[in-house]
Chain A
Amino acid sequence: MPKDSGIGASTKRREDVRFLSGKGVYTDDLNLRGQTYAVMVRSSVAHGKIVSIDTTAAEGMPGVVAVFTGEDFKDVGGNPAGWLINSRNGEPMREPKRPVLAHGKVRHVGDAYAAVIAETYQQAKDAAEQLAADTEIEELPAIVDMAAALADSSNRVHDEIPDNQCFDWGWIEDNRAAVDAAIKNAPHVTTLELVNNRLVPNAMEPRASIGEYFPGTGDYKLTTTSQNPHLTRLLIAAFVMGIPENKLTVVAPDVGGGFGSKIYHYGEEAVVLAAAKKLGRPVRWTAERSESFLSDAHGRDHVTKIELASDLEGNFIAFRTETLANVGAYLSNFSTATPTFLHGTLMAGPYKVPNVYVNVKTVFTNTAPVDAYRGAGRPEATYSLERVIDKMCRELNLDPFEVRRKNFITTDMFPYTTPVGLPYDTGDYHATLDKAMEIGDVAGFASRRAASAAKGKLRGMGLSTWIEACGIAPSHLVGVLGSRVGLYDAATVRVNATGNISVMVGAHSHGQGHETVFPQIVAEKLGVPESSVEIVHGDTSKIPFGMGSYGSRSLAVCGVAVTKAIDKIVAKGKKIAAHMLEASEEDISFADGKFSVAGTDKAKSFGEIAFSAYVPHNYPLETLEPGLEETAFYDPGNFTYPAGAYICEVEVDPETGKVEVCSFTCADDFGNVMNPMIVDGQVHGGVGQGIGQALLENTSYDENGQLLTGSYMDYAMPRASDVPFYKVDYSCQTPCTHNPLGVKGCGEAGAIGSPPAVVNAVIDALHSGGHTHVKHIDMPVSPSRVWSAING
């Protein structure tokens, strides 16, 4: 019988009521007295020297109140990379300054070099066009292709970096010789070169920021589309503008999706704050979608060669990869972690492969910065592994299900540390594979293939068995891996005098449903109705601290911080109850919302305890403080390791090359599940994005660094007609062993596991049609690519 409230219930989302009624409040919905409008002036060339900017005409245009250029910010700090990665030779990565506004040079199309502030949006827009016309930029040759960038030191994205390389990273360097030897001596080696296509995250709400300054107190306020308001505050305060942290409030109100792109601090946020101070008026900026395409951090963009050494029965002996990863023109905040520790450490997959070595060279190019996008590094690892395994199965004529099965880490092997360093705590990869085969009806595939053939279509089935490390946290691990911040989270549980509860959480909800799920946990633990619990998030002035939401970390890190704070509330409640009931604290137990004295019928309700805490007329104040509010910071001992098996079936039209996804089956292990309805939705969304990557989406720059896919007319977003209903199951549950909720995280799974399942299915379809010369097709597997592969 499904529960109707608390942990494990599919409680309907309370936030939906405002979103469905048009009463959400997103950043651009705010309307402030005296507000002004900022428009950025962006480079139309990929690479150029700023020769001159004449602001005179723009400044004299109607309504214009200020113009800023890179010159105005040249003495403030740069926007830093959050992770320091060392090259194989021990040298630290190259870290060029990322200025608020470009100064001296522009480095990608869309690189903002000036901002115009005016009374109305249209006035600012008109003046920005004037300023662009009054700017002289000497165009330099664009650096777009990664291999060419590394080979040519005469043309540099950053003048001080001769070969355009950020770092050359090996993981684990001590494995290298053994892996080389294993591959050299192996009975069989499968080699695959592939591209993990560059994507634009495309949260439906474009980025927006509003700066305010309060001269009476010297306080600043930034309202912004952020997944991570505390980090934004920290970066602006400590690195970019030098504003004391306690004089800056960052608010992220309703945020319309993020998928990684809104984790980071962007220059526009500093511009609106600086402008607000100068003008003494609010300054607002909202990106047009075209600006989002040009200036949001993009995702993926890896070129990889992977080798899989095996015996002739398909037992894995070694994986070796060489990857070029594009970081774009500047280092975005997580850009150096994504291709390294979120990618290389996952390169053993769920397999007991003894030897793994990963090499990643990151390259600066004249393109938008590239950073973490849903999955972040783990989709790249999974795609390389699952594609090369599929290719190996074809080369050796082996069953792809059986090959996974024989190579899986087995349940008796946990905890299991992989050759790339991650200590997996628990999992059951055979169980999720069995479940996927059952609900995906693998047994019935032959008849479905025959039915497709009767229609002239080629049907294929593709498998992907994936694992990720998420609940992005443990400070002690990420510190070893180069992180410059700790990754924990925090929560304050405030029981009000009238018994209702406010919970201030460091996680930020931009679609995940925290406002519903966190109260489920609090209600379960305290025995109160969910409706009496309210979540406060996205406001640095109200929340103790937080590291935001990304890396499927909200529940596994912040959710646990909430439970730790609740534990403290219960402990304090016992003290209060002991006083009220004239009993010893040790004799008080708490269950079902009541504090009781063991062995008696004496009890106080949670509400009575709360009221007493705020009306402490006779408290022994030496030993018992008034109030009922507790804060906990939680820093877990390990990542969490969700895993699963995905099966995709496609039909390919051999006449046109069009691929249709007929069915998509997911069997995942997320550990314990707090709200099944929301978990379903997270998987659906991730798979939708993964199918988008596999079949539709591509970010294309031409040789001059012009973005060819800069709008929804050119960048193929998945639409309702591009995807099927998905079959989703997470009944195989091996709870996480190191957090008290036993949760693992589900936000990125779909985007990680699905792309290789789709591509493997397409290759399977083509082989079934006799097109066995097709070994690989790069994503997006578009009709033209499929048709060319068939006919090539």
Chain B
Amino acid sequence: MKVSITVNGKAVSGEIEGRTLLVQFLREGLGLTGTHVGCDTSQCGACVVHVNGKAVKSCTAFAADLEGAKITTIEGMNNADGSLGTVQQAFQDHHGLQCGFCTPGMVMSSAALLAENPKPSEDEIRHYLEGNICRCTGYHNIVKAVLAASGQDADQIAAE
């Protein structure tokens, strides 16, 4: 069957099977390999993308169900000039990533959080990111990055 969706502002369509997951369509169909697969139980969050503005685990959505949807992946988060967007830049500034594998999902979840809640508390950030597992950072610098991306004084809050 065929599916037509918008990915990072571009209309795309492709042949899929009924069982094709969104993440497979993105990675294998469109070559957008920034979205990662870290588990097979929808727990790790490495595959989080935005579907019509909401954070969705793309390993848990069938591509066939998304006809007409607007998808944003990590590849669509940079500024128009190619520089890092606000959330991405905060992750670099605060060393919120190490191996980089969970990072796309972390950035997409964090951006979705900030869209819902522009100035989240530390607890709200930690709770929101429960669906994204990172094995490298111990989360310290990820939480700081999200605080900073929301314009708060991350160093001050982390030291309290």
Instruction: Find out whether the CB atom of B137 lies under 8 angstroms from the CB atom of A688.
Output: yes
Residues 128-148 of B, flagged 1 when their CB comes within 8 A of A and 0 if not, give 011011111111111110000
Chain B residues closer than 8 Å to A513, beta-carbon distance: 98
Q: Which residues of A contact B63 (CB under 8 A)?
A: none
- Asked if A215 is at the interface of the complex by the 8 Å CB criterion, the answer is no
Contact B34 A719 (CB under 8 A): no
Determine the distance from Cα of A717 to Cα of B84 in the docked complex, in whole angstroms.
30
B62 touches A (CB below 8 Å): no
* B34 and A24 contacting across the interface, CB-CB below 8 Å: yes
**B98 engages A511 (CB within 8 Å):** yes
Question: Is B1 an interface residue when CB atoms closer than 8 A count as contact?
Answer: no
Cβ-defined contact, B133 with A204, below 8 A: yes
B139 touches A720 (CB 8 A): yes
Q: Are B135 and A259 in contact (CB under 8 A)?
A: yes
B60 at the interface (CB under 8 A from A): no
Flag whether A302 is at the interface (Cβ < 8 A).
no
Do A726 and B44 form a contact, CB below 8 Å, given A12-B93, A719-B130? no
**Closest beta carbon of chain B to A680's beta carbon, Å:** 7
Whether the Cβ atoms of B75 and A22 lie closer than 8 Å is yes
Contact of B121 with A by CB under 8 A: no
Give the segment of A13-21, A54-62, A530-538 that binds chain B: A13-21
Given contacts A21-B75, A257-B98, A511-B100, contact A721 B135 (CB under 8 A): no
Q: What A residues does B22 contact at CB under 8 A?
A: none
**B50 CB-CB contact with A under 8 Å:** no
Instruction: Tell me whether A562 is interfacial, beta carbon within 8 Å.
Output: no
Most chain B beta-carbon neighbours within 10 Å: one of A12, A20, A511: A20
The smallest beta-carbon distance between A413 and chain B, in angstroms, is 34
Does B56 have its Cβ within 8 Å of any Cβ on chain A?
no
At the interface, yes or no: A256 with Cβ under 8 Å from chain B?
yes
- Complex: how many Å from CA A389 to CA B133? 34
Give chain B interface residues in 70-124, CB to chain A under 8 Å: 73-75, 77-78, 84, 88, 91-93, 95, 97-104, 107, 122-123
Pairwise interchain contact A720-B130, C-beta atoms closer than 8 A: yes
Contact of A204 among B34, B91, B101 (CB under 8 A): B101
Task: Give A723-743 interface residues, CB cut-off 8 Å to B.
Answer: 723, 725-726
Specify which chain A residues have a CB less than 8 angstroms from the CB of B43 in the assembled complex. 711-713
- For residues 256 through 307 of chain A, which have their beta carbon under 8 Å from a beta carbon of chain B? 256-257, 259, 288-290
Known: A256-B36, A712-B41, A712-B43. A689 touches B74 (CB 8 A): no
Checking A290, A685, A712 against B133 with a beta-carbon cut-off of 8 angstroms, the contacting residue is A712
User: Across the interface, do B129 and A256 meet the contact criterion of CB distance under 8 Å?
Assistant: no
Q: Chain A nearest CB: distance from B87 CB in Å?
A: 9
A717 touches B78 (CB 8 A): no
**Is there contact, CB below 8 Å, between A719 and B41?**
no
Point out the residue from A256, A289, A717, A725 that lies within 8 Å of B99, measured CB to CB.
Answer: A256
Choose among B93, B129, B137, B143 the residue that contacts A681 (Cβ–Cβ < 8 A).
B137
Please count how many residues in chain A sit with their CB below 8 Å of the partner chain's CB atoms: 58
Q: Which residues of B contact A712 (CB under 8 A)?
A: 39, 41, 43-44, 133
CA distance A87 to B155 in the complex (A): 53
A140 CB-CB contact with B under 8 Å: no
Contact B92 A723 (CB under 8 A): no
Produce 1/0 per residue, B8-31, CB < 8 A to A. 000000000101000000011001
Residues facing B in A680-697 (CB within 8 A) are 680-681, 684-689, 691
- With A15-B100, A19-B97 known to touch, is A720 a contact of B129 (CB < 8 Å)? yes
**Cα distance, A147 to B70, chains bound together (Å):** 58
CB-CB under 8 A from B132, the residues of chain A are: 720
Shortest Cβ distance from B68 into chain A, in angstroms?
Answer: 23
> Contact at A680–B95, with CB atoms within 8 Å?
yes
Report which of B100, B126, B130 forms a contact with A254, defined as CB distance below 8 A.
Answer: B100
Q: Is the interface of B mostly helix, strand, loop or mixed?
A: loop
Cβ–Cβ contact B99 & A31, under 8 A: no
Question: Whose C-beta in chain B lies nearest to the C-beta of A18?
Answer: B100
Q: Is A512 close to B, CB under 8 A?
A: yes
B48 within 8 A of A: no
Asked whether A29 is an interface residue with its Cβ less than 8 Å from the other chain, the reply is yes
Q: Which of B39, B43, B98, B103 has the most A CB atoms < 10 Å from its CB?
A: B98
**How far does the alpha carbon of A750 sit from the alpha carbon of B135 in the complex, in Å?**
13
A678 within 8 A of B: yes
**A206 with B126, Cβ < 8 A, contacts A20-B103, A681-B137, A726-B138 known:** no
Q: Which chain A residue shows the least CB distance to B31?
A: A31
A764 near B: Cβ within 8 Å? no
Is the pair A289, B41 in contact by a Cβ cutoff of 8 Å?
yes
| B75 with A725: CB separation less than 8 A | no
Asked whether A713 lies within 8 Å of B41 as measured between CB atoms, the reply is yes
Q: Give every chain A residue within 8 A of B140 (Cβ-Cβ).
A: 680-681, 684, 688, 723, 725-726
Give the residues in chain B near A563, CB-CB below 8 Å.
none
Q: Is A51 an interface residue (CB 8 A)?
A: no
Q: Which residues of B contact A26 (CB under 8 A)?
A: 33, 36, 101
Bound-state CA distance A713–B42 (Å) is 9
B104 in contact with A22 (CB, 8 Å)? yes
Report yes or no: A21 in contact with B74, Cβ–Cβ below 8 A. Answer: yes
Residues of B within 8 A of A233 (CB): none
Contact of B88 among A21, A203, A512, A678 (CB under 8 A): A21
In the complex, A539 has a CB within 8 A of chain B:
no
Question: Chain A: which residue is nearest B143 at the CB level?
Answer: A720
Report B-chain residues with C-beta under 8 Å of the C-beta of A476: none
Interface presence of A148 (CB below 8 A): no
Q: A206-B38, A717-B133, A720-B130 in contact; A512/B98 too (CB < 8 A)?
A: yes
**A677 sits at the interface (CB 8 A):** yes
Is the pair A13, B138 in contact by a Cβ cutoff of 8 Å? no
Contact present for A750 and B138 (CB under 8 Å) = yes
Least Cβ distance of A516 to chain B in Å?
10
Do B40 and A711 touch (CB < 8 A)? yes
B34, closest chain A residue (CB):
A22
**A163 interface residue (CB < 8 Å to B):** no
- B69 lies within 8 A of chain A by Cβ: no
**Which of chain B's residues has its CB closest to A203's CB?**
B135
Please name all residues of chain B whose beta carbon is closer than 8 Å to the beta carbon of A256 when the two chains form the complex: 36, 38, 99-102
Which of the listed residues B92, B95, B102, B133 has the most CB atoms from chain A within 10 Å of its own CB? B95
Q: How far is the CA of A750 from the CA of B95 in the complex (A)?
A: 17
CA distance A237 to B83 in the complex (A): 44
* Chain B residues with CB under 8 A of A122: 17, 19
* B134 and A204 contact, CB distance less than 8 A: yes
| B35: Cβ under 8 A from any A Cβ | yes
Contacts of B101 in A (CB 8 A): 24, 26, 203-205, 256-257
Q: Most chain-A CB neighbours within 10 Å: which of B75, B100, B125, B138?
A: B138
Q: Is the CB of A685 within 8 A of B98?
A: yes
On whether the beta carbons of B92 and A684 are closer than 8 Å, the reply is: no
For the complex, give the distance between the alpha carbons of A489 and B100 in Å.
25
B40/A288 in contact, CB under 8 A: yes
- B143 proximity list for chain A (CB < 8 A): 720, 725
Q: Is the CB of A257 within 8 A of B99?
A: yes
Flag if B103 contacts A685 (CB, 8 Å).
no
- For residue A25, which residues in chain B have a CB less than 8 angstroms away from its CB? 33
Cβ contact within 8 Å between A289 and B98 = no
Does A202 have its Cβ within 8 Å of any Cβ on chain B?
yes
CB proximity to B under 8 Å, residues A700-726 = 711-713, 717-721, 723, 725-726
C-alpha spacing A718/B44, complex, angstroms: 11
Q: Which of B27, B36, B88, B135 contacts A202 (CB 8 A)?
A: B135
10 A-B interface contacts by CB (under 8 A): A12-B93, A21-B77, A22-B34, A24-B101, A203-B99, A256-B36, A259-B135, A290-B40, A688-B139, A720-B126
Going nearest first, the 7 A-B pairs with the smallest beta carbon separation are A22-B34, A688-B138, A256-B101, A19-B100, A511-B99, A712-B43, A511-B98
* A interface residues, Cβ below 8 angstroms from B: 12-13, 15-26, 28-29, 31, 122, 202-206, 254-257, 259, 288-290, 510-513, 677-678, 680-681, 684-689, 691, 711-713, 717-721, 723, 725-726, 750
Q: A204-B46, A257-B135 are in contact. List 20 more A-B contacts (CB 8 A).
A: A12-B95, A16-B91, A20-B74, A20-B77, A21-B84, A22-B33, A26-B33, A31-B31, A203-B135, A204-B99, A204-B101, A205-B101, A256-B38, A288-B40, A511-B99, A684-B137, A684-B141, A691-B138, A721-B127, A723-B138
